[in-house]
């Protein structure tokens, strides 16, 4: 009989963690070692229904309503403060952290599991380097809270059957520009320049770079706030218009892609001949999934030179922007997640403007290294490479998940000498 593995995750949601969950679950299935069962969980305000809309009966058929018995292996895909040991062996899976410091509750959660798998070397480093000095109010004794359990990197492998260089059939005829920069990510909370994906700064720096230019490029934003509603879209447009009012002169166009989009559609967007490059001025990433997906097109990338995306963005092959670490603005703080005493990356604005100009003006120069990055990532950071990495980690750590029977002490009668 195969060991039972129960995976609790937001598998049925339209979210980044939902995508990570589905890939991880499929990787476990492909190991062909376990009887797999799934518990479907929510993820913030993102909606359910991904499995039905994408005909993933193979996964939905594995969902159980509740846990009936203690599994051999328990996997929880979420943020670490929610980790709870339920099985004989317990694995936490998390994208990790976008800043330089993680909360005490995260360290405690990591220590509740037998093993944690995180998405990048950045996250692993922050987990292992975070220290908290805790004072016992009763005894006055000070103890150090730090990670005691193993943390390993399991990168988010790109599915090359979904993301690849191809001819696009997406209709962008409403966009007259032939050269567009693309930026992808949720426009999260925070004042200008303080949202995590730094989309406010992305808009402003693009406008500053190409204002008053003849035949300027356009910027396409694939973004939303928390929902895909009309109100959400209107709020996004209003944000962009507010930023545009701070820039004087004739401004280049910005277009918004809003709402749910399939893997096929996003790959078609990546590959469209009008989309020439991807840009990300992110303040911090646990991994940076869209950047890896886009690298499969062989097109140039401009990105922040810090955090999770550095694992797969070879600095010799992409334009990694310099910058400095700065303390989080109060508008960016999220309790137990983005801490007021932590830091993240601030892109150097002149370097960002220069990168825009160089890629636009000398585009052909950046094609050859972009093609090299595509082949490098296809080999090192593919879904199949992730499966092989998971296999190695399982073999290293999850050696025996079955509870061992306890040997009872035998009571032997005393023998008399005859």
The reply to whether 403 falls in a domain is: no
Q: Do 353 and 388 sit in the same domain of this protein?
A: no
pLDDT at 242 over 50: yes
Q: How far is CA 102 from each of CA 108, 112, 181, 302, rounded to the nearest angstrom?
A: 11, 16, 33, 27
Q: Which residues make beta-bridge pairs with 151?
A: 116
Q: Do 279 and 342 sit in the same domain of this protein?
A: yes
Averaged pLDDT of the chain: 93
Q: Count CB neighbours of 235 within 10 A.
A: 14
Confidence of residue 229 (pLDDT cuts 50, 70, 90): confident
Q: Do 192 and 318 sit in the same domain of this protein?
A: yes
Q: Do 186 and 114 sit in the same domain of this protein?
A: no
Q: Do 283 and 386 sit in the same domain of this protein?
A: no
CA 12 – CA 60 distance, rounded (Å): 8
Q: Which residues make beta-bridge pairs with 334?
A: 338
The reply to whether 169 falls in a domain is: no
For the residues 260-271, what does the mean pLDDT come to? Answer: 92
> Which 3 state secondary structure label does DSSP give 321?
strand
**328 CB burial (10 A radius; 0-12, 13-18, 19+):** buried
Tally helices (H) and strands (E) across the chain. 12, 16
pLDDT at 244 over 90: yes
pLDDT at 408 over 70: no
**11 CB burial (10 A radius; 0-12, 13-18, 19+):** buried
CA 137 – CA 92 distance, rounded (Å): 31
Under DSSP, the state recorded for 415 is P
The reply to whether 412 falls in a domain is: no
> Which 3 state secondary structure label does DSSP give 134?
strand
Tokens of 299: 């097109």
Phi-psi region of 249 (alpha: psi -120 to 50; beta: other; left: phi over 0): left
The reply to whether 172 falls in a domain is: no
Confidence of residue 261 (pLDDT cuts 50, 70, 90): confident
For the chain, how many structural domains are there in total? 2
The reply to whether 118 falls in a domain is: yes
Phi-psi region of 149 (alpha: psi -120 to 50; beta: other; left: phi over 0): beta
Cα torsion 70, 152, 155, 224 to 10°: value is: 70
**What values do phi and psi take at 75, rounded to 5?**
-120, 130
Q: Do 215 and 288 sit in the same domain of this protein?
A: yes
Taking alpha carbons only, the member of 180, 164, 166, 165 closest to residue 274 is: 180
Predicted pLDDT of residue 407: 42
Dihedral sign, CA of 158, 162, 168, 173?
Answer: negative
Q: Do 148 and 187 sit in the same domain of this protein?
A: no
Q: Do 146 and 231 sit in the same domain of this protein?
A: no
Predicted pLDDT of residue 411: 53
Helix axes 363-380, 349-361, angle to 10 degrees: 100
Taking alpha carbons only, the member of 102, 149, 13, 120 closest to residue 343 is: 102
36-82 residue pLDDT tens:
999 999 988 788 999 999 899 999 999 999 998 999 999 999 999 99
Which CATH number fits the domain that encloses residue 28?
Answer: 3.40.50
pLDDT at 344 over 90: yes
- DSSP letters spanning 252-268: PPEEEE-S---HHHHHH
Cα torsion 260, 263, 266, 270 to 10°: value is: 170
The reply to whether 171 falls in a domain is: no
The reply to whether 406 falls in a domain is: no
Tokens of 101: 């410091």
Q: Do 344 and 221 sit in the same domain of this protein?
A: yes
Confidence of residue 404 (pLDDT cuts 50, 70, 90): very low
CA angle in degrees (0–180, nearest 5) for 281-263-165: 75
For the residues 1-30, what does the mean pLDDT come to? Answer: 95
Q: Do 213 and 287 sit in the same domain of this protein?
A: yes
Q: Do 133 and 247 sit in the same domain of this protein?
A: no
CA 325 – CA 402 distance, rounded (Å): 46
**Which residues have C-beta within 8 Å of that of residue 29, sequence separation ≥ 6?**
36
Say which residue the tokens 């937001």 belong to. Answer: 10
Query: Which domain does 260 fall in, by range?
Result: 180-380
The reply to whether 164 falls in a domain is: no
Confidence of residue 139 (pLDDT cuts 50, 70, 90): confident
Predicted pLDDT of residue 117: 98
Helix or strand holding residue 295 (H, E): helix 289-295
- Reduced DSSP (H G I as helix, E B as strand, rest coil) percent helix, strand, coil of the chain, to 5: 35, 20, 45
Q: Do 288 and 344 sit in the same domain of this protein?
A: yes
């Amino acid at each position: 009989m195969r060991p039972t593995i129960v995976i609790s995750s937001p598998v049925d949601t339209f979210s980044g963690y939902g995508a990570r969950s589905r890939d991880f679950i499929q990787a476990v299935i492909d190991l062909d070692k376990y009887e797999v069962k799934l518990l479907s969980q929510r993820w913030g305000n993102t909606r359910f229904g991904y499995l039905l809309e994408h005909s993933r009966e193979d996964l939905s058929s594995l969902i159980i309503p509740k846990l009936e018995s203690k599994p051999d292996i328990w996997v929880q895909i979420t943020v670490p403060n929610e980790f709870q040991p339920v099985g004989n062996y317990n694995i936490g899976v998390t994208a990790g952290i976008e800043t330089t410091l993680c909360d005490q509750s995260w360290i405690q959660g990591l220590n509740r599991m037998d093993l944690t798998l995180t998405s990048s070397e950045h996250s692993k480093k922050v987990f292992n380097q975070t220290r908290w000095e805790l004072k016992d109010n009763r005894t006055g004794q000070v103890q150090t809270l730090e990670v005691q359990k193993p943390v390993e990197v399991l990168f988010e492998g790109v599915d090359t059957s979904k993301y690849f260089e191809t001819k696009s059939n997406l209709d962008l005829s409403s966009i007259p520009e032939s050269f567009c920069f693309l930026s992808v990510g949720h426009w999260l909370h925070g004042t200008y320049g303080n949202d995590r994906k730094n989309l406010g700064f992305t808009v402003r720096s693009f406008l500053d770079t190409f204002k008053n230019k003849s035949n300027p490029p356009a910027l396409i934003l694939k973004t939303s706030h928390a929902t895909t509603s009309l109100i959400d879209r209107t709020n996004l447009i209003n944000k962009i218009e507010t930023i545009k009012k701070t820039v004087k002169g004739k401004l280049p166009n910005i277009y918004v892609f809003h709402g749910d989009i399939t893997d096929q559609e996003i790959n078609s967007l990546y590959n469209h001949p009008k989309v020439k490059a991807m840009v990300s001025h992110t303040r911090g990433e646990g991994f940076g999934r869209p950047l890896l997906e886009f690298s499969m097109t062989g097109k140039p990338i401009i990105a922040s030179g810090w955090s999770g995306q550095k694992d797969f963005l070879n600095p010799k092959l992409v334009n990694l922007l310099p910058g400095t670490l700065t303390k989080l603005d109060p508008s960016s703080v999220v309790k137990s997640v983005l801490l007021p005493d932590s830091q993240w990356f601030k892109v150097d604005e002149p370097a960002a403007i220069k990168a825009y100009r160089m890629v636009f003006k000398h585009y052909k120069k950046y094609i050859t290294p972009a093609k090299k990055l595509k082949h490098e990532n296809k080999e090192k950071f593919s879904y199949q490479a992730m499966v092989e990495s998971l296999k190695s980690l399982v073999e290293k750590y999850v050696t025996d998940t079955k509870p061992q029977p306890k040997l009872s002490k035998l009571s032997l009668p005393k023998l008399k000498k005859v």
